[in-house]
Amino acid sequence: MINLVFDETTKKFLAKIEYISGINVYRCFQCGRCSADCPSINMMDILPNQVLRFLQFGQVERVLSSKTIWICASCFTCTTRCPKGIDVAKILEAARQVNLRQNKDWLNINIFHDNLTEEEKEKIQKEKDINIIDGKRRAEFPTIALVSATRKLTA
Amino acid sequence: MLDFAYYPGCTLKTTAKHFELSALEVCKILNIGMSELPRWNCCGTVFSLSEDDLMHNLAPIRNLIRVEEMGKSEMVALCSMCYNTIKRANAFILADESRLKTINDFMYKESHKYEGSVKVLHLLEVLRDRIGFERIKKYVKKPLTGLKVAPYYGCALLRPEGAGIDEADNPHIMGDLLRALGAEVIEFTADRECCGSYHVVSKPELVYMRASNILDRVIEEGAEALVLSCPLCDFNLDDKQKDIIEKDTSRKPVPIFYFTQLMALAFGIEKEKLGFENHAISPTPLLKEKNLI
Ligand code: SF4
Ligand code: SF4
């Protein structure tokens, strides 16, 4: 039997994810169904089932810094298909929340970026792993799109 | 006569006006009372998935207080996302008495405390369960004969369990309605797929990918138009389709309808009231070809 020993930070974040989601990550038996049915995996860097696997092995940082948790749009396909009844979308939400609650956004619609050049914007986007939406683009969206995006992707 | 509290939501008052207008016309004909909440607020559009987060349930529950104040026990939504968010918030708050108490304590300035008596419904459920599709057939003056339509459900009408209005992996509620209107229904293989949702703001390439895939399947499987009930799906599949076609002009345009627009058309309501001019992909050529306008 493998005995996993986690450091304090790992323990803290893993407990946080389990607390926010209300899910015990060790219930996942790695069948891969969630990833097989997810419509957005080709834009993700780790698969939804790998999110569960990394958490089981205490690799919380790999999950928290992944693109996957932001790309997931909470479509609940995985949630309805998991044979163990795990609400996978909630795990991904909890990982987003851990970042958001530390003030890490993934979207910025702030007007102060409107005067930046394309190069300057590109630089900030890369450095901070954030998506900047300028005034020209902001105006194009219906309320439903802006409210849901900012609710999901900003602190 | 059926008499419901009606929650419109933000987008039905702006970019999806034609959804609201056509729905209210249809309800008038079917004798479904829809009294708009006298003072409503944004529902938040997405249900909070965090177990420890009561705060984001305040907005939906405040709307349900209004419903109780109106003396009504059932609230109808048209927008799939509003429906899903308010329905789930209601279930979340009622699952635990202490949640209900905390949320009521927080809204101490409300003269009425939420009692948890409200049932949240989507208009499609009302049409199926309270009117019945057989009865709807009797109101059809201009059957949609020859119009090949693909009903599209997306996420919020079907998932997760408990929030869905139909079988999550075998939905047919919208297809059954459209058949009652005389249309030829193509139940296509991408009908439950996510359109990319709010990533139209943050990761538009994801939405272009998802929307192209959904539209390809509509065409390949033999439908001429897609029918839905979500203003965000509509934006991604109609407005964004315009961009997709600009990049690839060989693509066949697929008009996108709200289910209520097609009901209204079949019920003989003048086309001027149905907002066909609000579409990014004009449905006029297709409707003219089928002699429907
Ligand atoms: S479907 Fe469920 S059990 Fe299977 S890998 Fe995904 S989370 Fe684990
Ligand atoms: S909820 Fe997220 S992870 Fe699950 S199938 Fe949808 S996009 Fe993929």
Following DSSP, what letter does each residue of B151-206 receive, concatenated? E--TTTTT-STTT-SS-TTS--HHHHHHHHTT-EE---TTTT----TTHHHH-HHH
Q: What percent of chain A has pLDDT over 90?
A: 74
pLDDT tens, residue by residue, B43-71: 999 999 999 999 999 999 999 999 999 99
The residue type of A93 is E
Q: What is the mean pLDDT of residues A145-150?
A: 94
Q: B103 near B34, Cβ under 8 Å?
A: no
- Domains recognised in chain B with CATH numbers: 2-124 (1.20.1050.140), 142-289 (3.40.50.11810)
pLDDT higher than threshold 90 for residue A121: no
- The residues that bridge with B185 in the sheet, in sequence order, are B149
Q: What is the mean pLDDT of residues B38-42?
A: 96
The residue whose C-alpha atom lies closest to atom 2 belonging to ligand 1 is A82
pLDDT tens, residue by residue, A37-78: 999 999 999 999 999 999 999 999 999 999 999 999 999 999
Nearest CA in chain A to B213: A39
pTM for the model stands at 0.96
The residue type of A8 is E
What is the tally of helices (H) and strands (E) in chain A?
Answer: 10, 2
Residues of A in contact with B205 (CB under 8 A): 43
Residues B167, B33: Cα–Cα separation, whole Å:
27
User: For residue B273, how many other CB atoms are within 10 A of its CB?
Assistant: 14
Give the CA angle between residues B286, B290, B292 to the nearest 5°.
95
How is residue B228 written in tokens? 């839905």
Residue A75 Cβ inside 6 Å of ligand 2? The answer reads: yes
- Where do we find the tokens 């006569």? B1
Residue A27 Cβ inside 6 Å of ligand 1? The answer reads: no
The residue type of B261 is Q
DSSP 3-state assignment of B150? strand
ipTM confidence score = 0.94
Interface touch A80/B169, C-beta < 8 Å = yes
**A153 and chain B: CB distance < 8 Å anywhere?**
yes
Residues B146, B63: Cα–Cα separation, whole Å:
42
The residue type of B19 is F
- Domains recognised in chain A with CATH numbers: 8-100 (1.10.1060.10), 109-153 (no CATH)
pLDDT higher than threshold 80 for residue B210: yes
Nearest CA in chain A to B51: A20
Give the CA angle between residues A70, B103, B55 to the nearest 5°.
20
Of A106, A109, A148, the CB nearest to B197: A148
Q: A144, A147, A148, A151: best mutation site toward chain B, by most B Cβ within 10 Å?
A: A144
Q: What is the mean pLDDT of residues B16-32?
A: 97
pLDDT higher than threshold 90 for residue A148: yes
Interface touch B46/A74, C-beta < 8 Å = yes
The residue whose C-alpha atom lies closest to atom 3 belonging to ligand 2 is A72
Q: B216 near B250, Cβ under 8 Å?
A: no
Rg of chain A over all Cα atoms, to the nearest angstrom: 17
Q: What is the mean pLDDT of residues A108-128?
A: 79
Q: B77 near B120, Cβ under 8 Å?
A: yes
Give the CA angle between residues B208, B214, B217 to the nearest 5°.
135
Residues of B in contact with A87 (CB under 8 A): 49, 160
Rg of chain B over all Cα atoms, to the nearest angstrom: 19
Q: How far is A123 from chain B (nearest CA, A)?
A: 17
pLDDT higher than threshold 90 for residue B163: yes
Which residues of B touch chain A, with CB atoms under 8 Å apart? 9-11, 14-16, 42, 44-46, 49-53, 56, 79, 81, 155, 159-161, 168-169, 192-194, 196-203, 205-206, 209-210, 231-232, 235
Residues of A in contact with B199 (CB under 8 A): 71, 73, 149
- Where do we find the tokens 């389990």? A18
Helices B97-106 and B80-94 meet at what angle, rounded to 10? Answer: 110
Interface touch A142/B194, C-beta < 8 Å = no
CA B68, B71, B72, B73 torsion-angle sign: positive
* Ligand 2 centroid, distance to B198 Cα (angstroms): 13
- Give the ligand with the smallest distance to the CA of A92: 2
Q: Place A1 in a pLDDT band, splitting at 50, 70 and 90.
A: low
**C-alpha distances in Å from residue B160, one per residue of A60, A85, A92, B51, B258:** 26, 11, 15, 16, 22
Residues B18, B265: Cα–Cα separation, whole Å:
13
Residue from B210, B71, B89, B70 nearest B154 by CA:
B210
Residue A84 Cβ inside 6 Å of ligand 1? The answer reads: yes
**Polymer length of chain A:** 155
**A90 and chain B: CB distance < 8 Å anywhere?**
yes
- Where do we find the tokens 């209300």? A22
Of A39, A143, A145, the CB nearest to B194: A39
Interface touch B209/A151, C-beta < 8 Å = no
The residue whose C-alpha atom lies closest to atom 7 belonging to ligand 2 is A72
- The residues that bridge with B228 in the sheet, in sequence order, are B258
Residue A88 Cβ inside 6 Å of ligand 1? The answer reads: yes
Q: Place B22 in a pLDDT band, splitting at 50, 70 and 90.
A: very high
User: For residue B68, how many other CB atoms are within 10 A of its CB?
Assistant: 18
Q: B45 near A151, Cβ under 8 Å?
A: yes
Q: B147 near B227, Cβ under 8 Å?
A: no
Q: What percent of chain A has pLDDT over 70?
A: 98
Burial string for A54-69 (b: 16+ CB within 10 Å, else e) reads: bbeebbbebbbebebb
B107 CB-contact burial (10 Å; exposed 0-12 / middle 13-18 / buried 19+): middle
